[in-house]
Amino acid sequence: MAPRHKKMASVASTAPSSAMSSRMTSRASSPAPTKRQPFRFFDLPSELRLRIYEYALWTPKPVDLVSDNFRTILPRLALFLVSRRMHSEAYPVFYAQPIRLFPDARSRFYKTKKPLLQRLPTKYREAITTLELQLGPGWSRIPLNQNTRSQLGLMECKSLRTLKVFIELDPTNDMIFEGFRGDNATSDTYKWHCVQLLAGIMEQVPSLEVVEFDAYPSVAKNGPLVSALIRKVKEGGKKLVYGPLRRWDKDDNEPGLIGLEAAMASMVIGSNAPQSVAVTA
């Protein structure tokens, strides 16, 4: 009986040692993990880096003071915090996209005392290349922030080349606006306000080269507001162009086709274009 107990003890003692030896063997045979090297972004050509910055920083709409900036703008600006070099390369790309001069009428910052341009540091103002001026909303009661005072910072926009003027409505020549113009206001009050805004921008920004006009279909090119603005641009010696929505440069009498109207205008049933048919009574 004694030899049997001795043999069982030896078997029990060798079991843990065999498991440990197999574990050590497996550890020795597995390769050591290699350290992952960071991507050398700055080794890329400068043209490719700028294109990557555009994809990462540009937004579909003009940059403006809106409540959802923490979702659309703030995550993009995290790129500025990577390093000093990336910040110096990225911020001119971000501010090269259109910046709205005064807040949109649908924004809760519409009547703020400080528009976006006034809130920016001088370094960022100097990088702005395109401003957007939105006209029409607030015509009955013009917000106090819509002016070209020196505190706005227009004189520091040394890289500004293009001003995009979008006209949502023209309240100067339609009877439906009568009775809503406010105290001591005439049909030309808002028109001259817009002309003064445009003149103030052109005077304070000598680097401005191009003024682009676009509008909704209800706005006529030969209306009092648009005509006065076009005349002011020509007096200032700036290049006048028209936006893609109305395409006023194609046909002066074109009312403008957008959305469903444009789709219906280009629609053709069948493989052949429609032909005229003469009908005799």
Instruction: Give residues with Cβ within 8 angstroms of 181, minimum separation 6.
Output: 139, 140, 171, 187, 189, 190
Give, for all 281 residues of the chain, the pLDDT tens digit. Answer: 555 555 554 545 555 555 555 555 555 566 667 788 888 999 999 999 999 999 999 999 999 999 999 999 999 999 999 999 999 999 999 999 999 999 998 889 999 999 999 999 999 999 999 999 999 888 888 899 999 999 999 999 999 999 999 999 888 866 666 656 666 667 788 899 999 999 999 999 999 999 999 999 989 999 999 999 999 999 999 999 999 988 887 755 444 444 444 444 444 444 444 444 444 43
Only one residue has tokens 């505190």, namely 151
Domain boundaries, the chain: 42-95, 98-252
Q: Is 167 exposed, middle or buried (0-12, 13-18, 19+ CB in 10 A)?
A: buried
Q: How far apart are CA 193 and CA 203, in angstroms?
A: 15
Q: How far apart are CA 210 and CA 98, in angstroms?
A: 13
pTM flag (> 0.85):
no
Is 45 in contact with 52 (CB distance < 8 Å)? no
Q: Where are the alpha helices (DSSP H) in the chain?
A: 2-29, 46-57, 69-72, 74-77, 84-94, 116-119, 122-125, 189-204, 224-235, 259-265
| DSSP per-residue codes, 12-56 | HHHHHHHHHHHHHHHHHHSPPPPPPPPP-GGGS-HHHHHHHHHHH
For the chain, give percent helix, strand, coil, nearest 5. Answer: 40, 10, 50
Is 129 in contact with 98 (CB distance < 8 Å)? no
Given this model, what pLDDT does residue 170 score? 86
Closest CA to 215 of 194, 201, 185: 194
Q: How far apart are CA 185 and CA 280, in angstroms?
A: 56
